[in-house]
Amino acid sequence: MSEAPFATTVSRPTVRGHIAIARIDHWVKNVFILPGIVAALGSDAGHVAPGFVMRVVLGFLSICLVASSNYVINEVLDAPSDLAHPLKRSRPVPSGKVSIPLAYVEWLVLMVIGVGLGFLVSTPFGFTALTLWVMGCVYNIPPLRSKDVPYIDVLSESVNNPLRMLAGWYMVGTVAVAPASLLLSYWMVGCYFMAIKRYAEFRDIADPVRAAAYRKSFAYYTLERLMVSILFYGSAAMLFLGAFIMRYRIELILSFPLVALVMAIYLDIAFKPDSAAQRPEGLYRERTLMAAVVSCTLVMAILLVVDVPALQTIFAPTAPTNMDRR
C-alpha cells in the first residue's frame, strides 16, 4: 500500500508537545486588549480603579491562559483534519507528541486558573474571561462547532476581538459602559482579518476537495465568496468606527487614511504565496505592515488627547436632524 500523501511520523507524547499546544507564541494576539485600555482611559480617566498596574498584569495573564485553554482544545479536536493540511499535519497532536487524556486535563486546568485570575481583577472581567472560554467551546466542540459553518466560523471566532477589548476596558475599572459602536467595529475588524486568513488558506491549498477535508466550511467557500465577505466585513468595520468617532471623538477622523492603509496592506499580504496572513502571530515580520500599524497607533493616541476645534465646525450638521424635528 502506498503512503498517504500527508502521512507523518508518529512520536511519543512529550512535555514539549503539551507546551506547544498551548501556543504561548500566540499570546501576542492579546495585544488587542490594549485599545480597550486606551479607550477606557480616554473616556473616563477620572475613575481608574486602585491597583491599576496589578489589574493589568493579572488581566493579561488571565486572558493568555484562557486563550491557551482554547488553543489546546482546538489542537485536540482539529487533529484529524490537520492530517489533510500540508503543514499542520506535523503539529504535536496529529504527530503523536501529545497524550489526549492529559491534553483534556491541560485544557481544563488552564481555564480554571485563567478565569480564577480574571475574577481577582473584577467580577465583570472574570465573566468576560469566562465568556472568552465559552466561545472557544462553541467554536471547537461538537455539536455546535461553529468553525465548520461558513460565515458563522468567522463571526464566532472574531467575537474574541470585542471580548478582548472589554477585558482591557474592565482592567481600567471605569464606571462608564463601553460604546456599542466601538465594540461592533472591533468585531468587524476581527472578521476582516479572519476572512483574509481563510482566503489565504483556501488559495494556497489550491484543491477544493483537500481544502474541504481540512476545514469543513471550505466545502462552501470559494475565492470569490471569501473576497466578497472580506469587502463586507471591512465596510462594516469602518461604518461602526465612523459612528463611534462622530459620537465620541471627532478628532479621530484624521486617522482614517492610516486605518485604511493598514487594512489595504493586510489585504495585499493575503495575495502572497504562503501568506503571513495564515499565521497572524508572525505578522510582526511584515515591516511595511508594522510601520503602518505603529504610525496609525501613534496618530490615534495623539488625537485622543489633542483637540482640533475646527473639526467641530467642518462636520457640524448642515441639514435638519431628528433632534431638530422634535
**Same domain membership, residue 195 and residue 93:** no
Residue 105 within a domain: yes
Among 127, 157, 178, identify where a domain stops: 178
| Cα maximum dimension of the chain | 79
Q: What is the pLDDT of residue 82?
A: 74
User: What's the rounded Cα separation, in Å, for the pair 28 and 34?
Assistant: 11
- 36: number of CA atoms within 13 Å, CB side? 31
**Same domain membership, residue 310 and residue 214:** yes
Name the nearest CA neighbour of 155 among 206, 183, 194, 100: 194
User: What's the rounded Cα separation, in Å, for the pair 267 and 262?
Assistant: 9
**Same domain membership, residue 186 and residue 165:** no
Tracing cell 487594512 back to the chain, one arrives at 263
* Sequential pLDDT tens for the chain (326 residues): 333 444 445 568 899 999 999 999 989 889 889 999 988 888 777 778 899 999 999 999 999 999 999 999 999 998 887 776 666 778 888 888 999 999 999 999 999 999 999 999 999 999 999 999 999 999 999 999 999 999 999 999 999 999 999 999 999 988 788 999 999 999 999 999 999 999 999 999 889 998 888 889 999 999 999 999 999 999 999 999 999 999 999 999 999 999 999 999 999 999 998 899 998 878 888 999 999 999 999 999 899 889 999 998 999 888 876 656 66
Give the E-state strand segments of the chain in sequence order: none
CATH number at residue 111: 1.10.357.140
Q: CA 154, 156, 157, 160 torsion: positive or negative?
A: positive
Among 178, 205, 234, identify where a domain stops: 178
User: What's the rounded Cα separation, in Å, for the pair 183 and 250?
Assistant: 17
Residue 308 within a domain: yes
Q: What is the pLDDT of residue 213?
A: 85
Q: What is the pLDDT of residue 10?
A: 56
Q: What is the pLDDT of residue 86?
A: 65
Residue 280 within a domain: yes
Rounded to 10°, the helix 223-248/256-270 angle is 160
Residue 70 within a domain: yes
Name the nearest CA neighbour of 201 among 282, 83, 85, 281: 85
Judge contact between 147 and 156, C-beta under 8 A: yes
Q: What is the pLDDT of residue 322?
A: 66
Domain that holds residue 254: 179-315
Number of domains in the chain: 2
Q: What is the pLDDT of residue 323?
A: 58
